[in-house]
Amino acid sequence: MQEILPYLINGVSVGGQYALIAIGYTLVYGILRLINFAHGDVFMVAGLVMVYTTTALPMYVALPLVLIATVVLGFVIERVAYKPLRTAPRMSLMISAIGVSYLIQNLAFYITGGVPQPVTVPIPWISENVLLFGQSTKRVTLVTPVLTILLVVGLVYLINHTRMGMAMRAAAKDFETAQLMGIKINAVISVTFVIGSFLAAVGALLYFTNYPSVGITSGAMPGLKAFVAAVFGGIGSIPGAVVGAFIIGLCEELIKGLGYTTFSDAFTFALLIVVLCVRPTGLFGEKVTDKV
């Protein structure tokens, strides 16, 4: 138990970070039926912005700036790359998402010179070491799950009890009808991207403060895993994404703990394929039947 414990603690923390990314996937997929391949890169950009702002500015300016920059990026991506393709086939939309991901990575490469940017000024307080069950760990591992749960509760409230939330639910249920009923679909989609990017930015702050550096592909793997978490939980379902993310975070860390680090990524995909084949709607998803 004593050997596994640090991995368990880490798993919960990593799971929380995945959850924050996964919500972005699940919200967007719920409405646009699009795997937003660029979401992992948005997460990476948040990390890069954090590196740059924290070295140049005081923390209380830098952190809000990270959140704002990421939210703006998410908003712009939707407006420029997805909105013009509203009526195009889904394949075009997915290709556009892959193109955006490619673009962001290449721009990041250009700006950083391809060199991973070291995190020199980690966020204070949460990156201090504390003792937990006799193990030394950074405070962020404790903060992450708590903050994740709080944000998710807030989000669920927003979706279930506000007008915008109702519009989002309507758009997710039936895009066209929602539009006909006078819902400003573009505004709803923008809000969805703003929320998704905001949560990804929070996730990035927590994730990268624990990491030595941010590279241009740092977002790809967490992004894909968060997507798997969203599918695993049942895409479109927020609680599903969160539960899925925690399960994946835990499993991944446990596999590392058992000494199979090479397979910690592969496991996630194996899980994905099993879920897709056995229960494509995930843990909490609804069944959809095609009409002929």
* Distance of closest approach, residue 89 Cβ to other proteins, in angstroms: 9
Alpha-carbon distance 26 to 226, whole Å? 9
Residues 86 and 188 sit within 8 Å (Cβ to Cβ)? no
- Comparison of 203 and 223: residue with beta carbon closer to other proteins: 223
The reply to whether 35 sits near other proteins by the rule CB under 8 A is yes
Coil, helix or strand for 214?
Answer: strand
- Go through the chain and tell me how many residues it has: 292
The reply to whether 254 sits near other proteins by the rule CB under 8 A is no
The reply to whether 277 sits near other proteins by the rule CB under 8 A is yes
* Distance of closest approach, residue 150 Cβ to other proteins, in angstroms: 30
Residues 196 and 35 sit within 8 Å (Cβ to Cβ)? no
- Comparison of 1 and 278: residue with beta carbon closer to other proteins: 278
Number of residues that bind other proteins (CB under 8 A): 49
The reply to whether 136 sits near other proteins by the rule CB under 8 A is no
The reply to whether 280 sits near other proteins by the rule CB under 8 A is yes
Coil, helix or strand for 122?
Answer: coil
Residues 9 and 134 sit within 8 Å (Cβ to Cβ)? no
Among 56, 270, 279, 286, indicate the residue that binds other proteins (CB under 8 A): 270
Residues 6+ apart with CB under 8 A from 28: 34, 36, 39, 192, 193, 196
Q: Which of residues 73-132 bind other proteins (CB under 8 A)?
A: 80-81, 84-85, 88, 90-92, 94-96, 98-103, 105-107, 109-111, 113-114
- Comparison of 67 and 272: residue with beta carbon closer to other proteins: 272
The reply to whether 224 sits near other proteins by the rule CB under 8 A is yes
Per DSSP, 35 falls in state -
95, HSE (Cβ side, Cα atoms, 13 Å):
6
The reply to whether 146 sits near other proteins by the rule CB under 8 A is no
* Distance of closest approach, residue 280 Cβ to other proteins, in angstroms: 7
The reply to whether 162 sits near other proteins by the rule CB under 8 A is no
Provide the mask over 229-248, with x wherever binding to other proteins is found by CB under 8 A and - wherever it is not: --x-----------------
Residues 6+ apart with CB under 8 A from 290: none
| Widest distance between CA atoms in the chain | 61
Provide the strand spans (E) within 71-230.
Answer: 117-118, 129-132, 135-138, 213-214
| Total Cβ atoms within 10 A of residue 273 | 10
- Comparison of 166 and 220: residue with beta carbon closer to other proteins: 220
Residues that bind other proteins (CB under 8 A): 33-35, 80-81, 84-85, 88, 90-92, 94-96, 98-103, 105-107, 109-111, 113-114, 217, 220, 224, 227-228, 231, 262-263, 265-266, 268-270, 272-273, 276-277, 280, 289-290, 292
